[in-house]
Amino acid sequence: MADEISITLTCLSNNATETISVSRSSTTLAELCEFAVALLGLPSSAGLTLHRNGNHIFTNNPSLSPSPSPSPSPSVIVMNVGSAGIENGDLIVAMPPRNNAALSTSASVPAPAVAPAVASTPSSGGAVGGLGLDFSSLLGSSNAAQTNASSSSNNGGGGRGRGGGRGGGLTFNIPSSTPGMFTPAAPVQWDGMSLDDALSRNPNPEHFVQILLDQQRHPNMLKELNYHSPTLATKLKHAGAISMENAATVWRQEMQKNTMSSTLSQTMKLQQEQEMERRLRTNPMDIDANAYFGEKIKKQNVEDSYRQMMEEFPESMGRVLMLYVDAEVNGYYIQAFVDSGAQSTIMSSKCAEQCGLSHLIDTRFEGVAVGVGTGKILGRIHMAQMKIKDQFFPCTITVMDSEKGLGDKNMDFLLGLDMLKRFHCNIDLQRNVLVFSVGSDKMETPFLHEKDLAETKGGTKGFDADKSNMEIEKMREDREDSK
């Protein structure tokens, strides 16, 4: 629609920014304040002020908003977006009041350029008359000029009356702000900038896509967006190959779509909370209202706990690498998984074949292993030589079916508690080593790092990032084509 325009709402106090489509003729400035509250996470629209190009255009006072009656009060002026001079692409700054004091009783209207003159009771010099004060000489109005002219003639043409001000009032020469003075002329960026920083510092779509698609200075930013939203990242990449204007258009349309969905969700949530507050005030024992706020408090506690965790020990969100050591069994190299929670040392049937031990399996000990899951035990190897570094350790091994045995088919050999206790092993995580007691001596071997372990064991050995990204992109494209 030709009447619709796209504007960006922002709040400097919490760095929140949203783009929204509004109607120039039907959307009022009071409604725009309500949109700002829902989209920017502001506590209330009461006392909220709107600014455009550095100029104050509106102060919201809900207590004096126009009534729905057919004959609203003539003192209340209703202004829509178009009459306030807001154009397509404008940046509107929403500023909440600095304190929670009660709002003044002035009407919810745009700030006037010049305040109207206050009529006063004639008195000597026009300063104090009866019970009122005459401030007209300070406001630079026509009444002020007339008052000063009269005062001058009554006092012999002097420049001052006994109580009046200078003729013509006070003149304040305040330089007007130029359009766009609060909008950076160039993107705000620095080396190593994250996607969140680019979004919060560059509300202008043209600036954001310029940073996003700058692969030389920000090689990881598009990858970060692709991780969160691969479809959007692909659209921007293809549009950017044509022109930056196309990419900015795609980004703006996507933000508008998300903004409308977010606005609807936030509005419904706000209405529900207001309804529950009303019900709770009416009946403090209301079951639904108490359940609603109980769930809200629970979610807030969980969110606070999550934020505290992310601030104090964010490493808990990372992947924990399991403990592996290099070993040889019957002369064949393996990576042994150290598991103090396993009762016995276990080997898969496939690994037993590779190590040439299948002929030593005693099938009299076959059965079923029960733990986190169940597995088929093929039997036991009563004596095998395991070599760690230069030391040989005799061990008894339980052999399990590779297909129906170990929960992880990639787990070839598991060094269990029986061996750890037999050789008084010490798992030293501070030095990242496994220590064996060999007689009166100590022998230690380091735990393997990520680079030493294959992907099947949680490592990165042989990992090809470009190949993996191409596979993910291919899967995404196939999924899009199938829709």
CA distance 227 to 225: 5
CA distance 37 to 14: 12
3-class DSSP state of 242: helix
Strand partners, 367: 377
Strand partners, 386: 329, 393
Asked whether 240 and 217 are in contact (CB, 8 A), the reply is no
Question: Which positions ≥6 away from 254 have C-beta within 8 Å?
Answer: 232, 235
CA distance 413 to 137: 95
Annotated active-site residue 339? The verdict is: yes
- Maximum distance among all Cα pairs of the chain, rounded to whole angstroms: 130
Q: In the structure encoding, which two tokens stand for residue 11, read together?
A: 């709040």
Asked whether 181 and 174 are in contact (CB, 8 A), the reply is no
Neighbour-count burial for 16-27, b at 16+ CB within 10 Å, e otherwise: bbbbbbbebeeb
DSSP strand pairing (55-59 vs 132-133): unpaired
Q: Report the Cα–Cα distance between both ends of the chain, in Å, rounded.
A: 30
Asked whether 303 and 295 are in contact (CB, 8 A), the reply is no
**478 — alpha (psi -120 to 50), left (phi > 0) or beta?**
alpha
CA distance 282 to 478: 56
The residue among 404, 477, 460, 474 whose CA lies nearest residue 231 is 477
- Compute how many other C-beta atoms are within 10 angstroms of the C-beta atom of residue 146: 13
**Catalytic site residue from 214, 326, 339, 401:** 339
**Number of residues assigned to the chain:** 483
The residues assigned a catalytic role are 339
